[in-house]
Amino acid sequence: MTHTSTTAPLPVLARVLIAGAGIMSLANSVTIPFLAVFLRKDLGLEPGMIGFIIGSSVFFSIFAGFIGGSLSDILGRARLLLTSLLGVIGSFIGLYFSDSVASVFAFNAALALSSSFFAPVGKALLSDLLPRQRRAKTFSYQYMATNMGYAVGPVVGAAVGLAGGRSAFLVGALGYGIYLIGLAAVLRRAPAAVAAGPTGPGASEKQHVRSVLRGLAESARIVAVDRRLLFLILAGLLLEAVHGRISSLLAQYLSVGFADGVMILGYVLATNAVTVVVLQVFVSRFMENRNPVTSITVGGLLTVTGMAGFAMADHLWHFVGAMVVFSLGEILIYPAEFAIIDRIAPEDSRGAYFGAQTFAQIGVFIGPVTGGLLLGAYGGTTMFLGVGMFALASVVIYLLVGRRIPGLAPTPQHRATDSR
């Protein structure tokens, strides 16, 4: 039987990257969500200091995501992927032995740096391995694997007594160590073009340094002058402001206005994880033959609808229903965002473009801050509707920018496909 480019089996390395997303999220979810509990219980830190330590990691993530993607275009994906995994393992071990604010801050920062080096490089490598028409669907598989890990991890961590304990960091390091061994074994058999950087295996250290500096300067220049990318980052930032910390918005609202707010929050967050895992395959089929801008437009409108549902909810099942709609929008949006970046990225700068997209994580701060101000001044209804408008503004940007990207502008073929 002859396979076409869209039906041929995924390369082994692509499958390992997808499975690894699940392994990493599983390891992360038994540690990172409980980091605040550890800081409070073991080190006795005040909430303000805990928030500073955890919140500051976003800036390290943004920096590392951009630099990591750029470096991978120069030195090769494999080297940076393995180095970043070693960095995560070392950070978890360091957190296990930490007994001061300074050491926790340092290792938490190292964890954010290492993790964010891996993310854009891994996505760039997936793009390298696959034909363009298969990338969006594969990104959705990777996203599903990530959410499967996050759906299982917190429950398992709490059930076996890892929540907030030091031993959770050793379990996280073990999970990453298993993935490191598997990925290294597969990369050893990968083509030389994947394993070696463009400067070549025989390049001297001076040549590597010069290449890195030139490459970073060129990447920064490309990113700065590509208006499409800048607008896409802005659109992503607005969506991240809504999706990035929805749990924070819900927690603030439910803890004030509902006697059983903590219970409702638990059910609603579980609904988010289960919805993503269950519906991801069906949604990826919907996306497969559609323009990614269409997916983001539908996803953005569902996000706004979900936020309106939260604004009007007053019972558990109202919140659960709103979260199903909100989560469906999330599933449609995230893989499509990566697919659009892939469309505009030059072949030799793909890592830089994926890395630049991490600047959208600034929205993780904007959403909760804006929501908190609106909640304090006008109440929960205004908070959900106001933050939800970020998603609507993002949809407008994607629709405008999509008209300027080759392959994304509406065509008769796309219109016929989307009308099915």
* Angle ∠(207,213,215) on CA atoms, nearest 5: 95
- Which residues, including other chains, have CB under 8 Å from residue 297's CB and lie 6 or more apart? 395, 398, 399
Q: Do 195 and 72 contact (CB within 8 A), yes or no? A: no
373 domain-assigned: yes
**Is there a single domain that holds both residue 177 and residue 229?**
no
pLDDT of 14? 86
- Establish if 3 belongs to a structural domain: no
Q: Which amino acid is at 262?
A: V
Of 178, 196, 214, which marks where a domain is finished?
196
Q: What is the pLDDT of residue 239?
A: 93
Asked if residue 110 and residue 165 are part of one domain, the reply reads yes
User: Residue 88 has what pLDDT?
Assistant: 93
- 233 and 159 share a domain? no
pLDDT value of residue 197: 46
Give whole-number Cα distances, 78 to 17, 82, 89, 135, in Å: 12, 6, 17, 19
Nearest alpha-carbon partner for 92 in 169, 164, 145: 169
Which of the listed residues 196, 214, 237 is the one where a domain comes to its end? 196
Report field, pTM of the whole predicted structure over 0.85: no
Domain contains 54: yes
Which pLDDT value is given to residue 362?
A: 83
What sections of 226-315 are H helices per DSSP? 227-243, 246-257, 261-288, 292-312
Contacts of 345 (CB under 8 A, 6+ apart): 127, 352, 353, 354
Q: Are residues 169 and 229 in the same domain?
A: no
pLDDT digits (tens, 9 = 90+) for 90-103: 999 999 998 888 88
131 and 251 belong to one structural domain: no
**Measured distance CA(210)–CA(416) in Å, rounded:** 50
- Specify the amino acid at residue 90: G
Tokens representing 352 are 């830089």
Kindly state whether residues 308 and 411 are assigned to the same domain. Answer: yes
- Per DSSP, helices labelled H in 130-189 are 132-159, 167-188
Residues 318 and 238 in one domain: yes
The reply to whether 217 falls in a domain is no
61 in any annotated domain:
yes
Same domain, 266 and 183: no
- Which of the listed residues 181, 196, 211 is the one where a domain comes to its end? 196
Kindly give the parts of the chain with pLDDT less than 50.
Answer: 1-4, 197-203, 205, 410-420
- With b for 16 or more beta-carbon neighbours within 10 A and e for fewer, the 102-123 pattern comes to eebbebbbbbbbbbbbbbbbbb
What is the distance between the alpha carbons of residues 62 and 65, in angstroms, rounded to a whole number?
A: 5
Instruction: Note whether 402 and 345 are same-domain residues.
Output: yes
- Which pLDDT value is given to residue 205? 47
Please state the domain count of the chain: 2
CA 17 to each of CA 28, 142, 143, 174, 283: distance values in angstroms, whole numbers, following the listed order: 16, 8, 11, 17, 21
d(CA 295, CA 376): 34
Provide the CATH number for the domain around residue 73. Answer: 1.20.1250.20
Range of the domain at 124: 9-196
Same domain, 300 and 347: yes
Tokens of 144: 């599903």
Cβ within 8 Å of residue 51, ≥6 positions away: none
Torsion angle defined by CA atoms of residues 83, 86, 88 and 89, in that order, rounded to the nearest 10 degrees: 180
Angstrom CA distances, 26 to 97, 152, 174, 265, stand at 21, 7, 11, 21
**23 inside domain:** yes
- Does 202 fall in a domain? no
Give me the helix-helix angle, 316-344 and 227-243, nearest 10°: 160
Report d(CA 195, CA 47) in Å as an integer: 44
- pLDDT at position 210 is 61
Return d(Cα 385, Cα 201) in angstroms, integer.
Answer: 54
Residue 100 contacts by C-beta under 8 Å, 6 or more apart in sequence? 43
Q: Are residues 281 and 183 in the same domain?
A: no
Residues 231 and 99 in one domain: no
Q: What's residue 87's pLDDT?
A: 93
Domain annotation covers residue 15: yes
